[in-house]
Amino acid sequence: MPVCIVALACLTLMTSLPAAAKEIPTTQKQYRLVRDGDGHGYKLELTDATVRSPADHEVLIRVRATSLNRRDVFVMKGQYPVGSRDSIVPLSDGAGEIVAIGHGVTRFRVGDRVAGIFFQNWLSGRPPEKVASGALGGSLDGMLTHYATLSEEGVVHLPKSLSFEEGATLPCVGVTAWNGLFTRGRIQPGDYVLLEGTGGVSTFGLQLALAAGARPIITSSSDAKLERAKALGAFGTVNYKTTPDWEKPVLALTGGVGVQEVLEVGGKDTLPHALASIAPGGDIALIGGLGGFGGNIPALQLLDRNVNVSGIYVGSRENFEALNAFIDQHKVKPVIDKVFEFEAAPADYELMESDQFLGKIVIRL
């Protein structure tokens, strides 16, 4: 073989594999939730950690952005089941680029822009028996770290139309809103869609509903947030603080028919109002319990209205990929209220607890 060809082959190998490897450090900064002294909650600490090289069928992701969900606050306070773990890397949501791959990886290449899925063990169809054991930022270490090593099966390509910051908002609330409206719900163009509050799920729901040709109605206790929701395209808005029986203006907005879809995030305090707002044959996606859980199941009311009710706990990789295709097709841009730098991550939690935001809160790494 001519010397020039050998030299060219060696140069190609050096620039494709070893060069990329040299850019990957052996240690990194990451945040961990460390068990507090009282044993009931956690405190957030910045720590040094090893960057673990990917094993067979694993990928190493340089995380570029993460985002916070209400669930992450519950984890910190010890109000969310994570087993007996004394230390956790928090946050289920993160996006970045693949910087190394293990032997046998076929789904991705170095340089691909990706996000981890919420449940690493739920790829398609019905959830596996122990689905919670695969949750990032809970049973498994999450994404508030510069480098994350995941199975190639637990990763999806980012929508081409989104930045890392926008892509980091998708794994939890994006997939949840998608499942509530499309996978379990039966949303159709022209439907009225009820969205409670202006957090991540509801704001995503507003955007997805608009892209599907539906008419979203959103509630909030803040007139300022409702004005922002109108600017995003909300068909109607209702202040539930000044109008406690808010189902009445919701029904008025629908001409007395009611809404065909509800993303129910409030729990026992809002469900009675949602049921009073629902149209015959409508769908209610039970997603959260910001006002608490409990109460009786109104079986007769559900039967009388022919209402379909589904419990939604995020979703599968298949659902995430369907959402991403829809986002690229309809050019949906997630709403980001504020972006923090990595060093200011504790302020991210403070803003989430304050409820003084609309949409998503993101951390840039």
Give the H or E element holding residue 7.
helix 3-16
Which of 311, 334, 351 is where one domain is finished? 311
Burial environment of residue 102 by CB neighbours within 10 A (0 to 12, 13 to 18, 19 or more):
middle
The pLDDT score that the predictor gives to residue 269 is 81
The pLDDT score that the predictor gives to residue 91 is 98
Same domain, 319 and 276: no
Same domain, 250 and 331: no
Residue 137 lies in a domain: yes
Query: How far is the C-alpha of 120 from the C-alpha of 218, rounded, in Å?
Result: 32
Same domain, 54 and 91: yes
CB of 361 within 8 A of CB of 351? yes
pTM of the complete model beyond 0.85 = yes
The pLDDT score that the predictor gives to residue 295 is 66
Same domain, 206 and 335: no
Query: How far is the C-alpha of 51 from the C-alpha of 54, rounded, in Å?
Result: 9
Which of 311, 330, 350 is where one domain is finished? 311
Identify the CATH number of the domain in which residue 69 sits: 3.90.180.10
Residue 62 lies in a domain: yes
Same domain, 265 and 292: yes
The pLDDT score that the predictor gives to residue 125 is 96
Same domain, 296 and 357: no
Same domain, 351 and 286: no
Residue 53 lies in a domain: yes
Same domain, 43 and 163: yes
The dihedrals phi and psi of 253, each to the nearest 5 degrees, come to -65, -25
Structurally, the chain folds into a number of domains equal to: 2
Same domain, 323 and 299: no
Burial environment of residue 224 by CB neighbours within 10 A (0 to 12, 13 to 18, 19 or more):
exposed
In the predicted model, residues of the chain with pLDDT beneath 50 are 1-22
Same domain, 240 and 205: yes
Residue 301 lies in a domain: yes
Helices 200-211/317-330 angle, 10° precision: 60
Residue 10 lies in a domain: no
- CA distances (Å), origin 313, targets 133, 140, 142, 176, 302: 13, 17, 17, 7, 21
CB of 51 within 8 A of CB of 25? yes
Query: How far is the C-alpha of 249 from the C-alpha of 255, rounded, in Å?
Result: 10
The pLDDT score that the predictor gives to residue 116 is 98
Which of 266, 282, 311 is where one domain is finished? 311
The pLDDT score that the predictor gives to residue 290 is 60
Residue 275 lies in a domain: yes
The pLDDT score that the predictor gives to residue 10 is 37
The pLDDT score that the predictor gives to residue 80 is 87
Pick from 170, 121, 176, 189: nearest CA to 286: 176
Same domain, 270 and 332: no
Residue 178 lies in a domain: no
Identify the CATH number of the domain in which residue 201 sits: 3.40.50.720
Residue 195 lies in a domain: yes
Same domain, 44 and 149: yes
Range of the domain at 193: 185-311
